[in-house]
Amino acid sequence: MPIATPEVYNEMLDRAKAGKFAYPAINVTSSQTLHAALRGFAEAESDGIIQISTGGAEFLGGQYKKDMVTGAVALAEFAHVVAEKYPVTVALHTDHCPKDKLDGYVRPLLEVSAERVRGGGNPLFQSHMWDGSAETLAHNLEIAQELLAKAAAAKIILEVEITPTGGEEDGVSHEINDSLYTTVDDAIRTAEALGLGDKGRYLLAASFGNVHGVYKPGNVVLRPELLKDLQEGVGAKYGKQTPFDFVFHGGSGSTREEILTALENGVVKMNLDTDTQYAFTRPVADHMFKNYDGVLKVDGEVGNKKVYDPRSWGKAAEAGMAARVGEACAHLRSAGARIK
């Protein structure tokens, strides 16, 4: 099946929320990691989300120019072609974009999709993320209103992060402290500014102790039950049951119990990057260590082309990452739930 249309993407999110499962959102930085993600989804019979961060897009744009828009557009166009060969449906998303990168990333990409829609087509990406967590909530929501209007006009869903996620990702960092918990008042102010679907659909990255990067279970105090408080607080005010579609950021090292609690409380998307990076790189390291005298020209020898050919270790990397994606699908209960 092809990349999701706007209508199918909405159906995907609705099905996840109703079924209390979530889609793994896999960060990719190359055609190879894209194929690994698609393979993982296909083998798990799960639909999913492919996403590109600003750093990933810059890398994809090539180190000569490092143009984020070029990199993101190029991989998205490639994905529209190769995804046809996989028996699952995926949506394309751009990950964390702070204020200083909006003009060089999300705003131009919104215009690319708007132009496609004006011509009678579908958007290139199905959703974009605005990360205003480093701004005041008032300023964050002011920018979110502008972006939501543009996204809705281009048949795109906006993701907003309203309060900080700890750790660091692509240059945006926050301390790990008590500010990492969204309050009901924060959620109500968000609903007041962005509506609850009437101004355009959006995904909400609320904070419940999440931290980007690598950590072991227990090192960070996650409170996914907080999401229920946000749903109920806003729902009571607006007379709408479970009004938010939540996103789980900083999930590396989360326990199964924490993930399941998040799913029960409205999480429909969970980001994975750190774990899949390791799953991709670990087989490469294994290959290099085991074949060091073949990948290197040691003591004047010529090496072994069969083991330094990037395809030899690249296949192992793809398989390793695909397996980790499949594991995520099982944990998030999306395995076997693809749209037929």
Q: Which residues are catalytic?
A: 95
Amino acid at site 92: L
∠ CA(143), CA(270), CA(100), 5° rounding? 30
Helical residues (DSSP H) of the chain, grouped into ranges: 6-19, 31-44, 54-60, 68-82, 106-118, 137-153, 184-194, 226-238, 256-264, 274-290, 292-295, 305-308, 310-331
Distance CA(112)–CA(128), nearest Å, equals 12
According to DSSP, the residues that pair with 267 across neighbouring strands are 246
In degrees and rounded to multiples of 5, residue 222 shows phi and psi of -90, 140
Output the furthest CA–CA distance in the chain (Å, rounded).
76
State how beta strands 172-174 and 23-27 pair.
unpaired
Q: For 117, what's the count of Cα atoms within 13 Å in the CB-facing half-sphere?
A: 19
- Residue 281 burial (CB count, 10 A): 13
* Gap between the Cα atoms of 32 and 125, Å rounded: 19
